[in-house]
A and B are shown apart, each in its own frame.
Chain A
Amino acid sequence: MKTIRIQTDDFDAGAECAALAVDNVGAMVTFTGIVRIDDSLSALTLEHYPGMTEREIARHVDEAERRWPLLGVTVIHRIGRLVPGENIVLVAVASAHRGAAFEATEFLVDYLKTRAPFWKQEVRGSAVSWVEAKESDETAAARWNPP
């Protein structure tokens, strides 16, 4: 089962996991990305490239399914205005055993950060700026050998 959603609304990680919990699932790993609470940050605004975002995520979910024996994957990414403490992204992976679920989750998060066409803008007081991409994210993704 593969679910990919881009939405402004929040998500319920528990409900998403329950939907993935089919009979032979032995391991479920979830990653939730949250807007860090930071004294000067008042909000993040996320924009994306409709169409390419879904395709790029689907391509990486397919690649994860080729590399590991997975029973289900859900990726939900929020867009629009988010304030500190709010959820940004959910990656949930179900498998028979934990190794595959842990690795596939890390793989998907690393690729979301470096390939999925989202851009974050930070609002700090009256200053608005685009978040710069981090070299450390590229390094993290490179260890998987690009698909």
Chain B
Amino acid sequence: MKILYFAWVRQKIGKSEEDIALPPRVTTVADLIELLRGRGDGYQEAFADPARVRAAVNQEHVRFDGKVGNMDEVAFFPPVTGG
């Protein structure tokens, strides 16, 4: 799975993208956040309050109960501030 990070989520994690292989128990965005939180301090900090983070799967906004699979592109970012 390809994971992308933007804005302060990217800064806290220290990278803009990475590829990871999903363990079978990870089936939703919420599961993926739990998995990522175990990967180090930057991830812990980025996902300390998941309510401050938004997610997209295959470039569409999703809620944390959205499904994820190994072929998906998932992105995590703060609430958007364009316009």
Contact = CB atoms under 8 A, between A and B. Distances in A.
Main secondary structure of the interface of A (DSSP, over half): mixed
A114 B6 contact: no
Interface stretch (A17-25, A66-74, A116-124): A116-124
Contact of B82 (A55, A112, A121, A130): A112
B83 interface: yes
Counting chain B residues whose Cβ lies within 8 A of the other chain, the interface size class is 10 to 19
B56 interface: yes
Interface stretch (A7-15, A42-50, A92-100): A42-50
Interface string A109-141: 100111111111100000000111100010000
A88 interface: yes
A85 interface: no
A47 B83 contact: no
Interface string B63-83: 000000000000101111111
Contact of A130 (B56, B78, B83): B78
B59 A49 contact: yes
B72 to A, nearest CB: 13
A117 B79 contact: no
A47 B80 contact: no
A132 B61 CA distance: 18
B82 A52 contact: no
The 10 A-B residue pairs with the shortest CB-CB distance, nearest first, are A118-B82, A133-B79, A113-B83, A52-B59, A119-B7, A112-B83, A131-B81, A120-B81, A116-B82, A130-B8
13 contacts: A46-B82, A49-B6, A49-B56, A52-B59, A115-B61, A117-B6, A118-B80, A120-B81, A130-B7, A130-B78, A131-B81, A133-B79, A137-B83
Interface of B: 4, 6-8, 56, 59-61, 75, 77-83
